[in-house]
A and B are shown apart, each in its own frame.
Chain A
């Protein structure tokens, strides 16, 4: 079995989805989800070689993101079965087709080793997910799609410039090394440092745009709130991770080239800016999907912050990545139920969730509890590790700013979730809670709780390997 099946199978399934009738499409979505999850496990344990091994190669950080992608895609495809039955989408084959293309491009990003091929994959994720945001064809969704495509394409073009500058840093130093993340990390010490730094800044701004780091985040709340909820779950839960993968791998090169202090400080600055931006906007939200989108910006900021701090905080950042994906996807799926039930994205139009949609309420409330970082959910551990790491390094000022912002964000989130859950209103709910409309969310939350208490050894080792170049000799 070759590694590239990961890319080709969803691609072919996506093409089929445009031809086949709706009924078969749903089956296609779920069966590709199952296949992809199975193949990801196969890759984890067998580590197959790629045919085009100058472009594709397995890396520990890629494996982590891949597992999150395939697990979440499987869960979202299950939710989609019932979602597509109850929702009024004009063009369901565009939905399934784009979801499958989206899966193919994200999987491609996780196994890309060549820096330009990785860029191609990330740009392709933008293009594959744009039709998902456009799906409702309202004026708002048109605006969101336009912003998404233009801002992300231009942003990612800057990442291409950054990659080109890194190529130049190889040529100037006169090193003979292939243009892959793994080869560059190995021979990072010989590269030209000034060009490497310049390249990193452009790469960070470029992929940071896609990851939702402030001040390049402006497309994110629009796109994530206008897409259909299962698509939002994937956009927020896994797409942002793919962009982070690029930043993590590039940081690995710079850390190996003894530019760790510079890289760390830049990452901390962007991370803090994102958390601050999110804290200012989350306190006065009127739309619950935008609320969740701003929380994604916050969490991406925390991940960048943790990566920049390094050591135990970098371990926390990777944990945070996994748990944020699980919890945020679960929340977006639940918000899909709320939208179907109440017919509005405005917080003021909702209320008494506990009475009208009790099962969704359990998932939504539990998710928010997890998101603000309360135990027993995994984000509690990951935030704790990041904050402890920052204190260990004596970064008192930045970590205090972070803590204040986290407090504000938690307050904002809790205030709105109480309003949605218990604010008494009289309304009629247009939704029956079928098992597939709440079990997927519940599964995601349960997985987060389990991973909080028990991390399989293979997973633990992979996390340690993935941060080996940036953690400064941290082991357990």
Chain B
């Protein structure tokens, strides 16, 4: 089971680089969907004791994380917001460079930890941390409101992967509760986005500057 785990971790790292360099929102949503699928599959491969229950549960999580949430986002973009540009705070070349720095930082941070699971699959922790940091990058460096939702989702994917791969305990009910929160959260963000688009004719967060001291 080591080889597929390493390949998937590598895919996660590459997906972060791809997402930060992308200029359109739709490819990024596809990346988030792919990450959602990988982060639910990886813990299943790591922990040997697979039961029917845990497989079904994993499938449900994957359905929500990899399909329902990205489809909701996709819908909100194609039907509500018609523009596909991102208005980055920093340029795309600089973003790719930042992405590389994120990967290096993740590898450096993970080298500080020693877990039994890391010695077998050395890429999983750097992958999780890069997804997490990539999410934070999206929250900071893009001005469109939709990309903030994407950033939040990536952040959550990263945290989930850290929790599910490093911690030995399975908390199925609890994990489901977390995901339910995320799902409803994305729906509410979608509703707010819809209203912002109607009121401002745009979803650039630079327009949201009325309330200040």
Q: Check if B213 sits within 8 Å of A221, measured CB to CB.
A: yes
Cα of A154 to Cα of B185 in the assembled complex, Å: 11
Cα of A168 to Cα of B114 in the assembled complex, Å: 12
- Residues of chain B contacted by A157 (CB below 8 angstroms): 152, 155-156, 159
The 8 Å CB contact of A167, one of B139, B163, B211, is: B163
Mask, A153-180, CB within 8 Å of B = 1, is 1100100110010011001100000010
Q: Which of B23-31, B44-52, B170-178 contacts A (4 or more CB under 8 A)?
A: B170-178
Cα of A226 to Cα of B168 in the assembled complex, Å: 44
Count of chain B residues near A, Cβ 8 A:
40
- Residues of chain A contacted by B181 (CB below 8 angstroms): 120, 123-124, 127
Cα of A120 to Cα of B174 in the assembled complex, Å: 8
Which residue on chain B has the smallest CB distance to residue A166? B167
The 8 Å CB contact of B174, one of A117, A124, A145, A222, is: A117
Q: Check if A117 sits within 8 Å of B159, measured CB to CB.
A: no
The 8 Å CB contact of A116, one of B148, B162, B178, is: B178
- Residues of chain A contacted by B139 (CB below 8 angstroms): 150, 154
Which residue on chain B has the smallest CB distance to residue A156? B181
Q: Check if A142 sits within 8 Å of B166, measured CB to CB.
A: no
Cα of A117 to Cα of B139 in the assembled complex, Å: 26
Residues A154 and B174 in contact in the complex (CB < 8 Å), given A123-B181, A142-B199, A149-B188 = no
Q: Which of B4-12, B94-102, B189-197 contacts A (4 or more CB under 8 A)?
A: B189-197
Q: Check if A142 sits within 8 Å of B148, measured CB to CB.
A: no
Cα of A143 to Cα of B112 in the assembled complex, Å: 41
Q: Which of A132-140, A365-373, A459-467 contacts B (4 or more CB under 8 A)?
A: A132-140
Cα of A285 to Cα of B212 in the assembled complex, Å: 10
Cα of A150 to Cα of B185 in the assembled complex, Å: 9
- Residues of chain B contacted by A117 (CB below 8 angstroms): 174, 177
Q: Check if B185 sits within 8 Å of A153, measured CB to CB.
A: yes
Mask, A213-239, CB within 8 Å of B = 1, is 000000001100110000000000000
- Residues of chain B contacted by A120 (CB below 8 angstroms): 174, 177-178, 180-181
Q: Check if B185 sits within 8 Å of A123, measured CB to CB.
A: yes
Which residue on chain B has the smallest CB distance to residue A163? B163
| B20 contacts A by Cβ under 8 Å | no
Q: Check if A127 sits within 8 Å of B192, measured CB to CB.
A: no
The 8 Å CB contact of B211, one of A123, A137, A140, is: A140
Interface set, chain B 103-154, CB cutoff 8 A to A? 115, 132, 139, 145, 148-149, 151-152
Q: How large is the interface on A (under 10, 10 to 19, 20 to 34, 35 or more residues)?
A: 35 or more
Name the residue in A143, A147, A161 with the highest tally of chain B Cβ atoms < 10 Å from its Cβ. A143
Q: Check if A168 sits within 8 Å of B166, measured CB to CB.
A: yes
Residues A149 and B213 in contact in the complex (CB < 8 Å), given A123-B181, A139-B200 = no
| A324 contacts B by Cβ under 8 Å | no
Cα of A134 to Cα of B193 in the assembled complex, Å: 12
Q: Check if B171 sits within 8 Å of A179, measured CB to CB.
A: yes
- Residues of chain B contacted by A142 (CB below 8 angstroms): 192, 195-196, 199-200, 208
| A338 contacts B by Cβ under 8 Å | no
| B79 contacts A by Cβ under 8 Å | no
Q: Check if B145 sits within 8 Å of A127, measured CB to CB.
A: no
Q: Check if A146 sits within 8 Å of B171, measured CB to CB.
A: no
- Residues of chain B contacted by A146 (CB below 8 angstroms): 145, 192, 196, 205, 208
Q: Check if B167 sits within 8 Å of A116, measured CB to CB.
A: no
Cα of A285 to Cα of B213 in the assembled complex, Å: 8
Name the residue in A119, A140, A144, A157 with the highest tally of chain B Cβ atoms < 10 Å from its Cβ. A157
- Residues of chain B contacted by A140 (CB below 8 angstroms): 210-211
Residues A149 and B189 in contact in the complex (CB < 8 Å), given A140-B210, A143-B211, A290-B213 = yes
Q: Check if A161 sits within 8 Å of B211, measured CB to CB.
A: no
The 8 Å CB contact of A127, one of B168, B174, B188, B210, is: B188
- Residues of chain A contacted by B145 (CB below 8 angstroms): 146
- Residues of chain A contacted by B155 (CB below 8 angstroms): 154, 157
Q: Check if A161 sits within 8 Å of B185, measured CB to CB.
A: no
| B80 contacts A by Cβ under 8 Å | no
- Residues of chain A contacted by B174 (CB below 8 angstroms): 114, 116-117, 120
Q: List 8 A-B contacts (CB under 8 A).
A: A134-B192, A142-B192, A154-B155, A160-B156, A164-B162, A164-B163, A171-B166, A284-B213
Hey, which bits of chain A sit against chain B, CB under 8 A? 55, 114, 116-117, 119-120, 123-124, 126-127, 130-131, 134, 137, 139-140, 142-147, 149-150, 153-154, 157, 160-161, 164, 167-168, 171-172, 179, 221-222, 225-226, 281, 284-285, 290
Known: A123-B178, A160-B163. 16 other contacts (CB 8 A): A127-B184, A139-B199, A140-B210, A142-B199, A147-B208, A149-B185, A157-B159, A160-B156, A160-B178, A164-B166, A164-B167, A171-B168, A179-B171, A222-B211, A226-B211, A290-B213
Q: Which 5 A-B pairs have the closest CB atoms?
A: A164-B163, A120-B177, A143-B208, A123-B181, A222-B211
